Chains A and B, each alone.
Chain A
Amino acid sequence: MTAPLLELDEVRKYFPVGTGAFFQRKTAWVKAVEGISFVIATAETLGLIGESGCGKTTTAKLILRQEQPTSGTIRFNGEDVCALKGQALMRYRREVQVVFQDPFGSLSPRMRIGSIIAEPLEIHTNLSRSAMRERVAEVLELVGLQPDVANLFPHEFSGGQRQRIAIARALATDTRLIVLDEPVSALDVSIRAQIITQLEHLQRTLGVSYLFIGHDLATVAHISHRIAVMYLGQIVETAESTELCARPLHPYTQALLVAALPAHPDDKRERLALSGEIPSALAPPSGCRFHPRCPRAMPRCAEEAPVRREVTPGHAVSCHLY
């Protein structure tokens, strides 16, 4: 069995909430991520799905080393990401890139496309000008754009094209993992299909892995091999994507499936049994974090946090029902 490319093990991230004018006294902690673990293999897509406040953005920041975990380890190619420094850190930054949600904020407005895409190359390599230009043309073609757009500025492109440019930039160096944080949520439906298809094609050709963060289950399930469902800082269920859609085990996953929009007017869905609002991560519920809203909660759920169990091979869930 090949070693995984990215491995997270019981990662926790707590943010301090301080009061006081000059010296912040730490009075409380926002438990944004509470013990998550998952793996991503080479040329694989892991979908991370959850609603606001579930911690998926924090997870992305931890992987990208914008934040350091409070505890737990993140391993890339076997190396501890959090301990990386100097050359090793630069190598990590070369191999792990990101594409953000907002196509209009992702590209530096005063730089030409060629410079934007070449920036990772400038930082990490000492290729000559012409070699860089060649590489820029190469990646532009990979994402379906003409190489001569390198001279233009971002504002001359549409949202979908800008996302392609962002993807091109993410591929400029020898990238092995791209973290995609809601990359198509801000795009029109038909452009969404273009970008998803493009990403899937790139994975097949280049063997790059994706961490695809999204909130639309249908889109995430389409592009992902496996899906991890997050709720309030924890992963409640992990499974292969078609398996998750066909046989969701955790009540939250089931609720997400019921809430998902139908593909046809005759697709009757039962009423959503889920009530209430998503609680804040400042004071998460005791025991299983989902129990106040769970339609199948038992007394045990309020006292004891459930442990992750693999119910069928490849399908793990954290719930007292199993």
Chain B
Amino acid sequence: MNAPLLEVRQLQTHYFTFGGSRIVKAVEGVSFALQEGETLGLVGESGCGKTTTCLSIVGLLPPAARVVGGEIRLNGADLAKKSKREMRRLRGRAIAMILQDPMASLNPLFSIYTQVAEPAYYHLGMRGRSLRRRVEELLRAVRIPSPAARMRGYPHQMSGGMRQRIVGAIALAAGPKLIIADEPTTNLDVTIQAQYLDLLKDIQEETGVALIFVTHNLGIVARMCNRMAVMYAGRIVEMGAVRDLFDAPKHPYTKALLGSMAKLGSKEPLYAIPGQAPDLVRPPPGCAFHPRCAEAMPRCATQDPEVFQSGPGWTTRCWLPHLAATVIHDRATA
């Protein structure tokens, strides 16, 4: 088994608001590993900590937030310990990001050429004709028609779908090993979204780049990812192969998310999870999900669940599989 490209161990990131009097525990002990060329879906609803996890990895946390614990190892080196200058050299070169709003990601004052060329210029030192060829190549890779002409244009002249592709081209410009895509298709129309996802899949197959896809939409995960990690209240509650989690989810939150998805053509009633997301300043004791869990046991309200190995590469942070395992064990040894 090769060494993973990215390994996050017990990451903790907190937001210090109101002058430090209110600490929001946005990420509380997140651990996962990503192999080269793999696609990991980071799933969860707003406030679960998935964006904060990504920002922690690339070192772009807002001033009020800080990584207070854990390690982020990219090819062995701990990113949490790197200086700002070292992180700047890494960003764009080894790790690239694609964000949700393409209009906000592009600078309206600079031409497409300037923006797509920037990472190659800065990180790879390319200049002149080879740089121009590289930009054309990239625009062609993201399927922008007539790239040579489009290069000279500006972001406001393009549609949302095209802009998002250009953001993708910028991400690829310096040949990163890892791309983190944070809800890149939320603002796009359905058919444009489908085209874009097809594109990302193709690019991944061609370049072998690893992809972390952050989304709250399980449909995207089903389509794009090999593995998925479900986050709730700053922790990963279940992680494993996408097929395993879709077929036989072990964590009640995963089950609830799958149950709340509307399936095309089906009128089956949707499972509506009662209650709302927990307060991350004062999270409930024990398991953060227990107030809303349909299968909660008394133990869940007092003890934070331990990770359970549900299968190879499949972990569940819940007391239920622990209980099931002891029952089986008792029966077996009786």
The chain A residues found within 8 Å of chain B, CB to CB, are 51-52, 158, 160-161, 188-194, 196-198, 200, 215-219, 221-222, 241-242, 245-246, 255-267, 271-272, 274, 277-278
Tell me whether A259 and B193 are in contact (CB under 8 A).
Answer: yes
A263 touches which one: B161, B256, B264, B272 (CB < 8 A)? B264
Tell me whether A261 and B217 are in contact (CB under 8 A).
Answer: yes
Enumerate chain A residues within 8 angstroms of B162, measured Cβ to Cβ: 277
Give residues of chain B (175-226) contacting chain A, Cβ–Cβ below 8 Å: 189-195, 198, 216-220, 222-223
The reply to whether the CB of B273 lies closer than 8 angstroms to some CB of chain A is yes
What separation, in Å, do the CA atoms of A51 and B217 have in the docked complex? 18
**Which residue of chain B has the shortest Cβ distance to A54 in the bound complex?**
B189
Enumerate chain A residues within 8 angstroms of B83, measured Cβ to Cβ: none
Enumerate chain B residues within 8 angstroms of A278, measured Cβ to Cβ: 159, 189
Q: Besides A51-B189, A261-B220, A278-B189, 10 other CB < 8 A contacts?
A: A188-B45, A194-B274, A197-B272, A216-B190, A217-B190, A222-B266, A222-B270, A241-B265, A263-B261, A278-B159
Enumerate chain B residues within 8 angstroms of A274, measured Cβ to Cβ: 191, 195
The reply to whether the CB of B84 lies closer than 8 angstroms to some CB of chain A is no
A189 touches which one: B191, B243, B257, B267 (CB < 8 A)? B257
The reply to whether the CB of B26 lies closer than 8 angstroms to some CB of chain A is no
Tell me whether B264 and A217 are in contact (CB under 8 A).
Answer: yes
What separation, in Å, do the CA atoms of A161 and B45 have in the docked complex? 16
Tell me whether A265 and B243 are in contact (CB under 8 A).
Answer: yes
B270 touches which one: A197, A221, A261 (CB < 8 A)? A197
Tell me whether A260 and B261 are in contact (CB under 8 A).
Answer: no
Enumerate chain B residues within 8 angstroms of A241, measured Cβ to Cβ: 265
Q: Which 10 A-B pairs have the closest CB atoms?
A: A261-B219, A245-B265, A259-B194, A193-B260, A51-B189, A188-B45, A218-B262, A193-B270, A194-B272, A190-B273
Specify which of B218, B260, B269, B270 lies most central, judged by the most chain A CB atoms within 10 Å of its CB.
B270
Mark B243-285 against chain A: 1 for CB-CB distance below 8 A, else 0.
1001000000000110111111111011111101100000000
Enumerate chain A residues within 8 angstroms of B260, measured Cβ to Cβ: 189-190, 192-193
A262 touches which one: B189, B222, B269 (CB < 8 A)? B222
Q: How far is the CB of A181 from chain B (nearest CB, A)?
A: 16
Specify which of B45, B160, B260, B264 lies most central, judged by the most chain A CB atoms within 10 Å of its CB.
B264
Enumerate chain B residues within 8 angstroms of A51, measured Cβ to Cβ: 189-192
Tell me whether A259 and B264 are in contact (CB under 8 A).
Answer: no
What separation, in Å, do the CA atoms of A161 and B275 have in the docked complex? 10
Enumerate chain A residues within 8 angstroms of B273, measured Cβ to Cβ: 190, 193-194
Q: How far is the CB of A223 from chain B (nearest CB, A)?
A: 8
Q: How far is the CB of B163 from chain A (nearest CB, A)?
A: 11
The reply to whether the CB of B239 lies closer than 8 angstroms to some CB of chain A is no
Tell me whether A272 and B194 are in contact (CB under 8 A).
Answer: yes
**Which residue of chain B has the shortest Cβ distance to A263 in the bound complex?**
B263
Tell me whether B189 and A272 are in contact (CB under 8 A).
Answer: no
Chain A to chain B contacts (Cβ below 8 Å), 18 pairs: A52-B160, A188-B45, A189-B45, A189-B217, A190-B260, A190-B272, A217-B264, A218-B261, A222-B266, A255-B191, A256-B191, A260-B190, A263-B263, A265-B246, A271-B198, A272-B191, A272-B198, A274-B195
Tell me whether B222 and A265 are in contact (CB under 8 A).
Answer: yes
B159 touches which one: A218, A246, A258, A277 (CB < 8 A)? A277
Enumerate chain A residues within 8 angstroms of B276, measured Cβ to Cβ: 158, 160-161, 191
What separation, in Å, do the CA atoms of A277 and B160 have in the docked complex? 10
Give residues of chain B (130-148) contacting chain A, Cβ–Cβ below 8 Å: none
The reply to whether the CB of B46 lies closer than 8 angstroms to some CB of chain A is yes
**Which residue of chain A has the shortest Cβ distance to B160 in the bound complex?**
A52
Q: How far is the CB of A175 from chain B (nearest CB, A)?
A: 23
Enumerate chain A residues within 8 angstroms of B191, measured Cβ to Cβ: 51, 255-256, 259, 272, 274
Tell me whether A264 and B246 are in contact (CB under 8 A).
Answer: yes
Tell me whether A272 and B195 are in contact (CB under 8 A).
Answer: yes
What separation, in Å, do the CA atoms of A265 and B159 have in the docked complex? 30
Enumerate chain B residues within 8 angstroms of A192, measured Cβ to Cβ: 260
What separation, in Å, do the CA atoms of A245 and B274 have in the docked complex? 29
The reply to whether the CB of B72 lies closer than 8 angstroms to some CB of chain A is no
Tell me whether B195 and A257 are in contact (CB under 8 A).
Answer: no
Given A190-B257, A264-B222, A277-B161, also A259-B190 (CB < 8 A): yes
The reply to whether the CB of B242 lies closer than 8 angstroms to some CB of chain A is yes
Q: How far is the CB of A124 from chain B (nearest CB, A)?
A: 32
Q: How far is the CB of A167 from chain B (nearest CB, A)?
A: 14
What separation, in Å, do the CA atoms of A51 and B161 have in the docked complex? 12
Specify which of B45, B194, B273 lies most central, judged by the most chain A CB atoms within 10 Å of its CB.
B194
What separation, in Å, do the CA atoms of A277 and B191 have in the docked complex? 9
Tell me whether A216 and B262 are in contact (CB under 8 A).
Answer: yes
Enumerate chain B residues within 8 angstroms of A255, measured Cβ to Cβ: 191
Tell me whether B45 and A263 are in contact (CB under 8 A).
Answer: no
Q: How far is the CB of A269 from chain B (nearest CB, A)?
A: 8
What separation, in Å, do the CA atoms of A51 and B159 have in the docked complex? 13
Mark B137-171 against chain A: 1 for CB-CB distance below 8 A, else 0.
00000000000000000000001111000000000
Given A217-B190, A274-B191, also A260-B264 (CB < 8 A): yes
Enumerate chain A residues within 8 angstroms of B274, measured Cβ to Cβ: 194
Tell me whether B190 and A263 are in contact (CB under 8 A).
Answer: no
Q: How far is the CB of B43 from chain A (nearest CB, A)?
A: 9
Q: How far is the CB of A86 from chain B (nearest CB, A)?
A: 41
**Which residue of chain A has the shortest Cβ distance to B186 in the bound complex?**
A185
What separation, in Å, do the CA atoms of A157 and B187 have in the docked complex? 24
What separation, in Å, do the CA atoms of A242 and B220 have in the docked complex? 23
**Which residue of chain A has the shortest Cβ distance to B246 in the bound complex?**
A264
Given A218-B262, A246-B265, also A189-B190 (CB < 8 A): no
What separation, in Å, do the CA atoms of A263 and B145 have in the docked complex? 32
Tell me whether B223 and A219 are in contact (CB under 8 A).
Answer: no
What separation, in Å, do the CA atoms of A257 and B222 have in the docked complex? 16
Tell me whether A222 and B267 are in contact (CB under 8 A).
Answer: yes
